[in-house]
Amino acid sequence: MDEAPKPRTKVLKNGAVYDLDRKRIVANPGGGTAAFGTQQAAMARERKAELKRETIAAAANEAVERRGYGKRYGSLAFVAEIASVMQRKATTQDDPKAVDAARFLLQETGLSDKQAQAEPQVQRVEYGIDAPTLALLRQALAVKARDNRHYQQHEVEGEVAE
């Protein structure tokens, strides 16, 4: 008569029985609060994500602390650094990513064309950019985008011709 092999188990500190072959808890005789259910798992995942966000923000702020942004912008100093870098990139004439950087800045400040169309009755003046300057900036971005498309098309046609 063949006997079925007994499952290899281990009793954990909280009294739960862990199956070493199936790699999971198979019994929890103690029950109650010692059990780790789906609700606790969801709360633990959310807390872990929150700690991750806090750690990333703290590390990013520490990296830009030498620029003095911490005094002025507090816990969002790293955001100020990102905006500063994007502004420099957006205003560099020969940078192929200038349009993307400018688009990022306009979207993040709420000044993009899409947002302006959604709120046409509101005349926005934010971050020291008045309406005429903003219109000029948008016009310059449109010209830059057109030039970039022309350059990219010319480059592709040149590669095909060779």
Predicted confidence (pLDDT) per residue in 41-94, tens digit? 788 889 999 999 999 888 888 888 877 777 788 888 888 888 888 899 999 888
Distance (Å, whole) CA 104 – CA 126? 15
Q: Record the tokens describing residue 41, joined without a space.
A: 């798992």
Burial 109-147 (b: 16+ CB within 10 A, else e): eebbeeebeeeeeeeeeeeebeeeebeebbeebeebeee
Distance (Å, whole) CA 18 – CA 36? 13
Split at pLDDT 50, 70, 90, the class of 162 is: very low
pLDDT for position 153: 59
pLDDT for position 160: 46
pLDDT for position 47: 92
Q: Record the tokens describing residue 45, joined without a space.
A: 């995942």
- Helix ranges, 17-130 (H): 38-64, 69-73, 77-90, 98-109, 113-118
SS3 at position 159: helix
Write the DSSP assignment of 7-45 as a string of letters: PPEEE-TTS-EEETTTTEEEE-TT-GGGS--HHHHHHHH
Helix axes 98-109, 131-161, angle to 10 degrees: 150
pLDDT for position 49: 92
